[in-house]
Amino acid sequence: MRADCGVPLDDLQVLPGEQMPEPARQLLVHGQDMTSTLAAFHGSPLRVEVLRQEQHDTLYFREVFLRTQAHDRIVEYGVIAIDLEQFTPPQREAIQAGRIPLGELLHRFRIPFVSSPIGYFAVAAERLGGRPFAVPAGTNCHGRFNRLGLPTGEALAWILEILPPA
């Protein structure tokens, strides 16, 4: 899925968190999950729009938009790999249903987790192959790579998170 998800990894420009422009810095440079951060910023709960999904052994991959429920606005493009082995059958079912963002499910199921951003980047919107944001050429989008894990260290998910331009 990585090869055809529309994110050209070679075109990502590594950017230190402190050099991230606002509001991207406020929304990306922290140790929280993006679901609750974006819901609070946009004043609306979020829903998932699954663009593609597939599973390999216990890894469940999906490419998604996170949208506000209030106005159906895209607030994030994401590619996520979730280790289903770390979840109970009811939790797996909720994850694979693809309606509720993983961050919200972690809170709903009271699963303790640690969000550990790995790095931040900028990418020209036109390098995203028209997905997910229709913006003028030369416009940059900002994002991060993140790892969600249990407090004991086991990985729950790895996520590429890209915000629309401000």
The partner residues of 66 in beta bridges, in order of sequence, read: 48, 76
Please give the single-letter amino acid code of residue 40.
A
Give the pLDDT confidence score for residue 108 in this predicted structure: 96
Other C-beta atoms within 10 Å of 24: how many? 22
The ranges assigned to domains in the chain are: 2-163
Report how far residue 130's alpha carbon sits from residue 7's, in angstroms, rounded to the nearest whole number: 10
**Cis peptide leading into residue 23 (ω within 30°):** yes
Each of the 166 residues of the chain gets a pLDDT tens digit; together they read 445 555 667 778 999 999 999 999 999 999 999 999 999 999 999 999 999 999 999 999 999 999 999 999 999 999 999 999 999 999 999 999 999 999 999 999 999 999 999 999 998 877 665 556 667 777 888 999 999 999 999 999 999 999 988 7
Report how far residue 50's alpha carbon sits from residue 41's, in angstroms, rounded to the nearest whole number: 22
Q: Token pair of 85, please?
A: 């082995």
Q: Say what the pTM is.
A: 0.89
Architecture of domain 2-163: 3-Layer(aba) Sandwich (3.40)
